[in-house]
């Protein structure tokens, strides 16, 4: 890992947030808090930039483990922000009930669809609450994103789900660097050093990706340090997910 000055980075990000809020006359942030490191660090950054009274954390369980909610509370308690719980389980279940009208599908057939429906419902909920609290509190709330550089590079996110947000703060930091930011911001240890997972399965993100975030970070800094096999795995993930970034758009031919 390259030299990294967390204090300086935090100072610059805070300046960036304040500048954007001022320019656009914004008031607050609605932040989905998963109980993982990325949202913990973003919570710390937002509180530093906007004040704790302008940040609302949201837990969005969906047939989820209770533990993630407990870890989210560690974050909100530490930073002194409001924490709203919006359980999307009944919404998810209503959707699945409606699906029955289209036929009977095997677990294997709906597996991918189910996995990606959850972050899409979470995104829908965060934006719902942002517009609602904007009305109720008379100032504009926006939805910050929490994706880091490693996740973005390999496309580890759901199009229309956690890829939809109004401001992006960690996109230029590898997982290791996010941890350094978190240490500086005193994100609770249990949250900061937890193996990242989606809260939906028992697998960690790294299990599912088949590569380690540290290897992705190494790849981004100097790919020649990696074994050919790992390098190719990362390149394949990146290539296969490019369609999430570049939406093909027809432009007419000039005469």
Residues that bind a copy of itself (CB under 8 A): 9, 12-13, 16, 20, 24, 84-88, 90-91, 93-95, 97-99, 101-102, 105, 108-113, 116-117, 120-121, 123-125, 127-129, 131-132, 134-136, 145, 159-160, 164-173, 243, 247-253
Of residues 54 and 194, the one with the C-beta less far from a copy of itself = 54
Choose between 100 and 228: whose C-beta lies nearer to a copy of itself: 100
At 19, give phi and psi (nearest 5°): -60, -45
Minimum CB–partner distance for residue 27 and a copy of itself (Å) = 14
Would you say 9 or 190 has its CB closer to a copy of itself? 9
Tell me the HSE value of 141 on the side-chain side, using a 13 A CA sphere. Answer: 23
Tell me how far, at minimum, the Cβ of 76 lies from a copy of itself, in Å: 15
90/229 with CB nearer a copy of itself: 90
Contact 73, 57 (CB under 8 A): no
State the minimum distance, in angstroms, from the CB of residue 232 to a copy of itself: 20
Task: Judge residue 71's burial from the number of C-beta atoms within 10 Å of its C-beta, 0-12 exposed, 13-18 middle, 19 or more buried.
Answer: buried
Residue 196 CB, nearest approach to a copy of itself (Å) = 20
**For 85, which DSSP code?**
E
Residue 106, φ and ψ in degrees, nearest 5: -75, 160
**Residue 63: helix, strand or coil by DSSP?**
coil
DSSP label at residue 138 = T
Take residue 207 and report the two structure tokens written for it. Answer: 């299990």
Work out how close the CB of 211 gets to a copy of itself at its nearest, in angstroms, rounded to a whole number.
23
């Amino acid at each position: 890992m390259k030299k990294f000055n967390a204090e300086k980075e935090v100072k610059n990000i805070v300046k960036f947030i304040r500048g954007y809020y001022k320019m656009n006359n914004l008031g607050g942030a609605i932040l989905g808090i998963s109980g993982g490191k990325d949202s913990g660090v973003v919570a710390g950054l937002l509180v530093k930039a906007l004040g704790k009274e302008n940040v609302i954390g949201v837990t969005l369980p969906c047939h989820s483990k209770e533990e993630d909610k407990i870890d989210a509370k560690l974050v909100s308690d530490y930073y002194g922000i409001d924490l709203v719980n919006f359980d999307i389980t009944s919404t998810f279940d209503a959707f699945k009930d409606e699906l029955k009208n289209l036929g009977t599908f095997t677990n294997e057939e709906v597996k991918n669809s189910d996995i990606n429906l959850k972050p899409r419902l979470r995104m829908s909920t965060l934006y719902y609450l942002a517009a609602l609290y904007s009305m109720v509190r008379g100032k504009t709330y926006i939805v910050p994103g929490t994706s880091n550089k490693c996740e973005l590079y390999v496309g580890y996110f759901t199009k229309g789900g956690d890829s939809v947000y109004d401001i992006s703060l960690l996109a230029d930091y590898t997982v290791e660097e996010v941890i350094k930011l978190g240490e500086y911001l005193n994100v609770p240890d249990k949250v900061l050093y937890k193996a990242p997972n989606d809260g939906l399965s028992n697998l960690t993100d790294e299990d599912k990706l088949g590569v380690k975030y540290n290897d992705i970070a190494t790849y981004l800094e100097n790919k020649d340090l990696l074994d050919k096999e790992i390098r190719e795995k990362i390149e394949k993930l990146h290539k296969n997910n490019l369609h999430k970034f570049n939406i093909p758009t027809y432009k007419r031919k000039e005469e």
